Amino acid sequence: MYQYDSYDQAMVDARVEEFRGQVARRLSGELTEDQFKPLRLKNGLYLQLHAYMLRVAIPYGTLSGKQMRLLGDIADKYDRGYGHFTTRQNIQYNWIKLDDTPDILADLATVEMHAIQTSGNCIRNISSDHFAGAAADELVDPRPYAELLRQWSSFHPEFDYLPRKFKIAVIASDTDRAAMRLHDIGIQMVANEAGEIGARFYVGGGMGRTPMIAPVIREFVPALQMISYAEACLRVYNRYGRRDNKYKARIKILVHEIGADEYRRQVEEEFAHILTLGLEPPQAEFDRIAAFFADPGFESGLSDAVDRSDPDFALWLDQNTAAHKQPGYAVVVISLKPTGGIPGDASADQIRLMGDLGTAYSLDELRVTHTQNIVLPHVKKADLYTLWQKLDVAGLASANLDLISDIIACPGLDYCSLANARSIPLAQKISKRFADMDRQRDLGELKLKISGCINACGHHHAGHIGILGVDRKGTENYQLSFGGSEAADTSLGVITGPGFSEDGVVDALEKATDVYLTQRSEGERFLDTYRRIGMAPFKEAIYG
Amino acid sequence: MGDLLRYRDDAATGAPVLALADFLAADNSVAVRIEPGEDARALLPHLGRIALIEVSFPAYGDGRGYSSARILREEGFTGELRATGDVLIDQLSHMTRCGFDAFAPAKPIAADAAAKAIATWPEVYQKTVDGRSPIWAKRHGG
């Protein structure tokens, strides 16, 4: 894992002091809320329906046991004993007091963490593959590149007042576990014919009210020009992105309106200029960063055998673990989606326990997934049963990864001032309706995503089944869509037809899954069946 | 317009500041103002004779002027680069990093507070046009 040096620490400490001064000016009345707003947003502090919400950055979703434990302590000390893991691999706290925030940031700084640029119209936290460094299918570890981008984007003086927020994801395998093409910039690390590593840039993806899948803008940017190319992409956007309408201000609209070819031409022109300026950190700096991401001390010669005699354990093993590149190890996903629970929520005790388990069983590393679960990336197969027992006692052993109850949901109208409808109660209702695990396993991989408004924080466009909450004449109404995907076969969902009440949408969901069960061919997931047979049979069952 | 904060040793020009279109139509003007939507690169053929470029910020949230400033410095402009309009204290350090060396905020900012704000960052991660050595260079002897 990356570790701060005195420079990184000085930057974060300076930010804490700056924000402490700004909060003091707000509390004394020197700053009005209007003047304070852009300053608090640079530090991840939102004013929600009932309280302030603080969003803490977890760069590329990677953290140590110690960092995780501190996140649990913050939940106890400053919140109501809970933290909420988000779809951008971050954590947010929903019940924060303004005058506590400088102290929270100071606590975070003691473990090399911060809330910098987790909101506002700037470059947000860089996200990545939650299996990075463990996945059997990756070309290289994408995180050194993400860390390079993190440093470049931190307090970037030119790009702090962009037309709109800006999200970057970096992956390095053909299996996309980070919804890469649904980001403002998606980068896939690839090798060229000479075997050199470089970055393929996708620009102009996003969800929100106008979902778009990012086109390739450049097939191969040499690794040592990646920062310069990103700088060019951002500069063109900062200068020419729309500022007349916040709903048309994301880079996807610029790329769409002028076309990928014209955007590429402008970027290439700017890139040629920027290359003359020598802005790129040298190879030695990349090597310094990459050394932190060298394989942790894996043991060799371990057995791959796992005792499956406990049937409940065997179900969890099959559902919630993934292949590791090192023999004798597995990747474990801890589901934060228990039946009837709030997707992505964990109690302070659970967060601390996960930190402890990460230290004890995963070489002191944890990851946050964009699907709001937690990963222990490096677990010895010999430890899996013990680990599972400890998770089970803490209510953290739901064996439902990628099943219908592994729901992504935004905070919705229970917390968010932008929402039109509640997401959490609906997610809870669905997970209760489908609580029978045999039934869930029979339905197989089914990615269900719920957003409480058109901003699509719950990624509904990319759900095999997506649900969008809207306000219809003062009552909450839910639109259903099928066929989205955030994986390598990225696609956007299509709305089934008229919306439903909260109970109505759960009924419709059940009818749709019945159609799938009747119509599926051998080995087909819900998404595959939908793609093969189309919307009509589903529509007939739901509305007929 | 409020009090001018200026961090240059030379004397400020007293020449009238022309809008970009008027400046491009004139032959000998030495001071020009560009708006957020105007292309700073239109000034490139004339940089040698310009003493002052005002970059207008009608609203603090419109960040196009940061790119304008940086481009002008990258292209070798050494005259006064002045941010005018909705310029707030918490933006002075980033503006300085992008090459501004004068500020005419609509609401005055006290000189000592401004100096403190400009010095917010002990180190910087990016190489820009302000001459500061970025962290990545210092790490490797730069």
ipTM value of the model?
0.97
CATH classification number, A408-543, choose in 3.30.413.10, 2.40.50.140, 3.50.50.60, 3.90.740.10 = 3.30.413.10
Average pLDDT over residues B108-126: 94
- Contact between chains at B88 and A35 (C-beta distance less than 8 A): yes
For A311-393, CATH number out of 3.90.1150.10, 3.30.413.10, 3.40.50.450, 3.30.70.3340 equals: 3.30.70.3340
The pLDDT assigned to B2 comes to 52
Strand pairing partners for A114? A57
* Max intra-chain CA distance, chain A: 67
Which residues in chain A touch residue B120, judged by CB atoms under 8 angstroms apart?
14, 18
The sign of the CA dihedral B124, B126, B131, B135 is positive
Question: Which residues of chain B make contact with A243, given a CB cutoff of 8 A?
Answer: 36, 62, 64
* CB proximity B117 to A under 8 Å: no
Q: Do domains A6-109 and A408-543 have the same CATH topology?
A: no
- Out of A14, A38, A278, name the one closest to residue B120 (CB): A14
Quick one: closest CA in A to B97, which residue? A157
Q: Which of A158, A233, A243, A287 to mutate to test the interface with B (most CBs of B within 10 A)?
A: A158
Domain extent at residue B104: 5-138
Residue B1 has pLDDT above 50, yes or no: no
Q: Alpha-carbon distance A233 to A247, whole Å?
A: 20
Burial class (CB in 10 A: 0-12, 13-18, 19+), A287: exposed
Both ends of chain B: CA-CA distance in Å? Answer: 41
Burial, A28: exposed, middle or buried (Cβ in 10 Å; 0-12, 13-18, 19+)?
Answer: exposed
Determine whether the interchain pair B125/A239 forms a contact, defined as Cβ–Cβ distance below 8 Å. no
Q: CATH code at B118?
A: 3.40.50
Adjacent-strand bridge partners of A508: none
Structure-block tokens of residue B40 = 């700073």
Task: Report CB contact under 8 Å: B126, A18.
Answer: no
DSSP-based three-state secondary structure for B102? strand
- Report the gap between the CA of B23 and the closest CA in chain A (Å): 21
pLDDT at B142: 75
Q: Where are the beta strands (DSSP E) in A277-431?
A: 321-323, 329-334, 345-347, 365-368, 374-380, 408-409
Distance from CA of B19 to the nearest CA of A (A): 19
Distance of CA B67 to the CA centre of its chain: 10
Other CB atoms within 10 Å distance of the CB of residue A150 = 24
Q: Which DSSP symbol is given to A243?
A: -
Residue ranges of chain A with pLDDT lower than 70?
none
Count of domains in chain B? 1
- Whole-angstrom distance, CA of residue A247 vs CA of residue A253: 9
| Chain A residue set in contact with B, beta carbons under 8 Å | 5, 7-8, 10-11, 14, 18, 22, 35, 38-39, 121, 151-152, 154-162, 235, 238-239, 243, 273, 277-279, 281-282, 284-285, 288
CB contact under 8 A, A160 and B67: no
Inform me whether the C-beta atom of residue B22 falls under 8 Å from chain A C-beta atoms. no
**What fold does the segment set A134-289 form as a domain?**
Sulfite Reductase Hemoprotein; domain 1 (3.30.413)
3-state helix, strand, coil in chain B (%, to 5): 35, 15, 50
Chain A residue nearest residue B95, CA to CA: A157
Residues of chain A contacting residue B74, judged by C-beta atoms under 8 Å apart: 273, 277
What average pLDDT does this structure show over B51-79?
97
Q: What is the pTM of this model?
A: 0.95
Could you confirm whether domain A6-109 is CATH 3.90.480.20? yes
CA atoms within 13 A on the CB side of A88: 24
Per-domain boundaries in chain A = 6-109, 134-289, 311-393, 408-543
d(CA A72, CA A63): 13
